[in-house]
Structure 1
Amino acid sequence: MGGLLSILGVRALGETDLNPVSGLGKISQLLFAWIQPGNVLANTIAGGVAEAGAQQARDLMQDLKTGHLVRASPQAQFYGQLIGSSLSIIVSATAYTLYQRAYTIPGPPFPAPTAYVWLSLARLLCDGQLPQNSASYMVLLQ
């Protein structure tokens, strides 16, 4: 499903210059709530994987589009993407490990607010529970 949503996101980006990755992740969460009702963890992971796939597809499409405009070799771009992706695995894992040793993640220095949005939607879809004080917040917004 992540691949299908990635294609949808790239198509939308190509035609409108906007990539609805957040919405695509939420669609994935809605579908996964129907497939695996009550499974908050699987629901959150499904949304995250779909959004991450759509973001990566967007980045790759933009890179290839720029390469086409400057007449770069698609083969060289492909190898560059492979090398960069391989190195980023090592760099990202190392950086995360270093941050995790120094800080509590999530914690006061790194609160991860987007993670709470994903978790809140998963809980709402699976359990029907909204976060605490959300009803009064919605009344104040009206």
Structure 2
Amino acid sequence: MTTNLAADGGATTFFAGLGTGGVALVLTVALVLGTRKKGAGAETTFSKGLALTLGLAAGVVWAGAGIVWGMPDDVVLSALQALGVGRADGPLGNVQMPAIAWVLVLIAYLVKLKPRSAGVTGVIMASVFSVAGGAWAIVATTIGGFFLGLAA
């Protein structure tokens, strides 16, 4: 662990050299271990909100890390494309990504999700928010950017 405070003109580095794949790995382990059932050897369990936020962050970091980490993003976007999202002639009519983003937010806050389900919802949100653009992409970029900052 490296700590540089004010020596670099105010630059602060708490964890040096994790790399994008390393941050993806840490977030994955945190999601898996933090969303276990309390009786399954878990000392603590994440709240729904924390699991959702870490899932969103993990999804953005995974997409940025690429290679095998980018597969969940590819699966989500391919599934939505197969359902006709983003096309005017889709089976549900003209449904665009911002509509899917709103649906995911409604699910996240109006459905009683367990932490693991909330984490998966966050991962899906990362893919959808990034493609939806506008304020949705800003949310994904801001949360992901914080965690990607740990990679440097």
TM beyond 0.5: no
Higher helix share: 1
TM-score, normalisation: structure 1: 0.29
| Normalised TM-score (structure 2) | 0.27
Highest relative contact order (Cα 8 Å, sep 6+), 1 or 2? 2
